[in-house]
Amino acid sequence: MRYLVREKLIAIGDDFTIKDERGRDVYFVDNKLLRIRDELQFQDMQGNELAVIKRKLLTLRPVYEIWRDGQQVAVVRRSFIRIIRDKFEVDVPGPDDLEIHGDFLQHEYSFRRGGEDIAHVSKRWIALTDTYGVDIREGEDEVLILASAIVIDRVSHDPQPQPRSDPPE
């Protein structure tokens, strides 16, 4: 399935609209600016929350958690060592971890599981806002892959955002 991820031009914070290959809006990612913690809500177009993306605080490298129904389902980390090639790891419960390899200069990323490509992110289109295509192999977890692509976008634009202080939980 192919998706077009586009940052909203007029929005407070990083809000994204995700369209399917027919050009229909299917998902919306809302940056919750008024929260103490850096958090994005991944929603369907009816406003139902499908996932929450949270930046982990006080880490040496960018780390984001993806949550569904109050349960952490993945942790996305950028590798420490990178020169021109970029690498992220998506740690999911069990043996199905993903590796994301790419070129941050060309904005091209491949998602792999066990050495096999399962998705590709391409930012070949030129637009006023961040716009890129995401091609996901059928049967894969689209929300997880799209949420991970949003993390890459955030990390690429602000590799070391200043941590916010959270009140104790």
**pLDDT tens digits for range 12-47:** 567 899 999 999 999 999 987 655 567 899 999 999
State how far the alpha carbon of 97 is from the alpha carbons of 25, 115, 134, 169, in Å.
Answer: 29, 11, 19, 28
Higher pLDDT, residue 74 or 85: 74
**Which residues, including other chains, have CB under 8 Å from residue 135's CB and lie 6 or more apart?**
1, 2, 3, 119, 120, 122
Band of residue 163 on the pLDDT scale cut at 50, 70, 90 = very low
Locate 145 and state its tokens.
């892959």
* Entry pTM: 0.84
152 backbone dihedrals φ, ψ, rounded to 5°: -60, -45
Encode pLDDT of 49-83 as tens digits.
999 999 988 887 889 999 999 999 999 998 877 66
pLDDT above 70 covers a percentage of the chain that reads 78
Judge whether 117 and 102 are in contact, CB under 8 Å: no
**Mind listing the domains of the chain with CATH numbers?**
2-157 (3.20.90.10)
